[in-house]
Amino acid sequence: MAKEKILKGIAVSEGIAQGTVFIYETNSIQVFQTPILSVYLEDETARFEKAVERTKKELMDIKELINKEIGGDFAQFLDAQIMMLEDRTIIETVKKRIIEEKKNAEYIYHQVINDYASKLGESKDQYLSERVADIWDVGMRVLRNLLGLTHSSVVDVPPGTIIAAHDIPPSEAALIDPNNVLGIVTEGGGRTSHTAITARALEIPAVLGVEGLMGKIKNSETVLIDGDRGILIKNPSRGRIHFYEVAKKKERELEEALSPYCELPPKTHDGKYIDISANIEFFAEFAHAKKYGAVGIGLFRTEFLYLTRRGNPSEEEQFRVYNALAQRMKPHPVIIRTFDLGGDKIVSHYHEANPFLGWRAIRVCLDNWDFLKIQLRAILRASANRNVKIMYPMISTYEEIKRVNLIFDKVKKELKSKKIEFDEDIQVGIMIETPSAALLSSHLTSQVDFFSIGSNELTQYTLAVDRGNERVSKLFDHFHPAVLNLIKRVIDAGHDAHIWVGLCGELAADPLAIPLLLGFGIDELSMNPASIPRAKLVLRSITIPECEKIAHDALGYRTALEVKRFLRRAIRKTFPGVEQVIK
């Protein structure tokens, strides 16, 4: 039996899957040059037009399917692709050159697309340069139709498939059927790529960014993927398969045991109500939030609206998404966070030496007033539903929040003068995810209605650890006493000023952290929707005075390890009901 081999990648969508590899290949089309006799030139241009028509029908069908299965905002890139397909300049150039050069349509079309894509790729304009992948996605479809090729597609894969690819183009990723596809693994891509977002939306385990994958994997071989750890296991040993089978069985049993909690109210055993809301990345996930029993959206990461399409989303496009989300979630609140671009949510055209310390989030928006104002207008218009709140990411200075509030007031005045309806009492909050904001929190309270602690980033910046960097990621620990002290300080500052404080980093879903955070006095916890039933189980097993005692004692330790050991012991002893979900 072949030796087991572990390939490392980036964990982008959680879960475990074992299945048979289907290699999805995109760029395997060969185009040859063939002379065309003058009498057949008209037929040749007609053949080209037919291929364009057929491609349009394919794209329209995909759009309809996505609209139905995932949601309209996800299908927008297809409008852009249809526009490229129907670009008159391209079509006329191809037809003209077929006639003039007396050559076959696929050869000419390939050349025209190639020139077009190269020009776009060289463009300094980010919007244009990002369209290269779309041009090729569309171009390959037309070529396949011209050549009569039934292309490698993810559509007809059999049940039990793990898709392996260099990259999956957006129009193809959107066609993945979660009934047949158990997992996804790719050589390219990262946490914010289109494939990653699709995998999370469909709840399919996925590992992306596996170096050299395509040279190391074969069609029809059996592999295991672990979307929690970000690994792919080739030729898994019997022991490994058994380990994962047991883990999966446990996961299923726990899921079943937890499912009644979706319906139950988020209250502690002694009756304190805590908002348990969902973090989502695009509109259609509201269905997950509801399914798992969220009482609102605590974080809508709007940057994905930007990352899943090409170019800036217009006010109207944004409004449609925010408004639909607010309506679907009523009467529960929806917290819309302004674009958090930069850092790990990289805009492909823009690179800098230290992206996490660079031009990102609120800094980008404050340097681009028009860009920010469009988003503020769209959010304010959606606030007419009376359940929308707005939140700014990555605040690190008092001046930033003053400036952004000034712009916000301006936008409100403009809307008022145009008699456009919005919620005049809309709550405005900030994320506390830099140590400077945490340390300054008692001053920042005067400018906002709430705080939401971004514990992922707060940990990263407090401990000076890039958790994407394998060499130092073991130092990343949100139970580090320095992080916990900052969290406690922020909650106290908020409460002293009578504003509410939530937490929307990964810590919010950690069963060891929930009693601790409640002991600190947290008012809201926002998390990945699938974690909500487990969080409710923890919540309903605990009581506030005991949590306060645990939280007080936890702050006496010097290291993250000591804190975790203490929490494990104290929680097991005080709240035995939590035992089953503690790892």
DSSP, res 312? P
- Of 134, 457, 524, 546, the one binding ligand PEP (CB under 6 A) is 457
For tokens 């007419």, the residue is: 384
Measured at the CA of 35, the angle between CA 31 and CA 41, to 5 degrees, comes to 105
> Which residue number, 144 or 301, has a Cβ lying nearer to ligand PEP?
301
Q: How many residues of this chain bind ligand PEP (CB under 6 A)?
A: 10
Q: Which of 110, 288, 478, 504 is catalytic?
A: 504
CA 452-456-461 angle, to 5 degrees, is 100
- Contact predicate 555/503, CB 8 Å: no
Determine the angle formed by the axes of helices 513-520 and 560-574, rounding to 10 degrees.
Answer: 90
- Binding segment (CB under 6 A) for ligand PEP, from list 5-13, 107-115, 452-460, 466-474: 452-460
Min dist. Cβ of residue 141 to ligand PEP (A): 34
- Contact code string over 318-357 relative to ligand PEP, x by CB under 6 A: ----------------------x-----------------
455 interface partner picked from ligand PEP, Mg ion, none, CB below 5 to 8 A per type: ligand PEP
Number of residues that bind Mg ion (CB under 5 A): 3
Quick one: tokens of 532?
A: 């909500």
Instruction: Please provide the distance, in angstroms rounded to a whole number, between the alpha carbons at the two ends of the chain.
Output: 33
Of the candidate spans 240-248, 259-267, 417-425, 454-462, the one that interacts with Mg ion by CB under 5 A turns out to be: 454-462
Tell me whether residue 194 is one of the annotated catalytic residues: yes
Query: Please, are residues 339 and 361 in contact by the beta-carbon 8 Å criterion?
Result: yes
Q: Which positions from 379 to 418 touch Mg ion by CB under 5 A, shown as an x/- string?
A: ----------------------------------------
Of these residues, 194, 288, 332, 480, which one is catalytic?
194
Joined together, the tokens standing for residue 361 give: 């989030």
Out of ligand PEP, Mg ion, none, which partner does residue 137 contact, by CB within 5 to 8 A per kind? none
Q: Which region, judged by CB under 6 A, interacts with ligand PEP, from 61-69, 161-169, 245-253, 453-461?
A: 453-461
**CA distances from residue 437 to 337, 458, 522, 526 in whole angstroms, order as listed:** 17, 9, 17, 20
Q: Which of 455, 462, 531, 541 binds ligand PEP (CB under 6 A)?
A: 455
Question: Does residue 433 touch ligand PEP according to CB under 6 A?
Answer: yes
Q: Residues 555-569, buried b or exposed e (16+ Cβ, 10 A)?
A: eebeebeebbebbee
**How far is residue 128 from each of residues 109, 125, 188, 296, measured CA to CA in Å?**
20, 5, 21, 37
C-beta separation of 444 from 456 below 8 A: no
Which one among 131, 200, 288, 301 touches ligand PEP, defined by CB under 6 A?
301
When asked if residue 429 is in the footprint of Mg ion (CB under 5 A), the reply is: no
**Alpha-carbon span 423 to 417, nearest angstrom:** 15
CA 393 centroid distance within chain: 16
Of 62, 504, 509, 563, the residue at the interface with ligand PEP (CB under 6 A) is 504
Phi-psi region of 293 (alpha: psi -120 to 50; beta: other; left: phi over 0): left
d(CA 522, CA 501): 6
Q: Which of 457, 466, 477, 546 binds Mg ion (CB under 5 A)?
A: 457
Helix (H) or strand (E) segment spanning residue 331: none
187 binds, among Mg ion, ligand PEP, none (CB under 5 to 8 A by kind): none
Closest CA to 408 of 451, 369, 382: 369
Q: Which is nearer to ligand PEP, 85 or 458 (CB)?
A: 458
* Partner interacting with residue 505 (select from ligand PEP, Mg ion, none; CB below 5-8 Å by kind): ligand PEP
Stretch of residues binding Mg ion (CB under 5 A), selected from 211-219, 400-408, 457-465, 496-504: 457-465
**One of 169, 266, 454, 529 touching Mg ion (CB under 5 A):** 454
Specify the residue, 139 or 454, whose C-beta has the smaller distance to ligand PEP: 454
Of ligand PEP, Mg ion, none, which one sits near residue 21, judging by CB under 5 to 8 A according to partner kind? none
Tell me which residues in 355-384 interact with Mg ion (CB under 5 A).
Answer: none
Phi, psi at 162, each rounded to 5°: -110, 120
Q: Is 502 in the site for ligand PEP (CB under 6 A)?
A: no
Work out whether 505 is an interface residue with ligand PEP (CB under 6 A): yes
Provide the annotated active-site residues.
Answer: 194, 504
Name the site residues for ligand PEP (rule: CB under 6 A).
299, 301, 340, 433, 454-457, 504-505
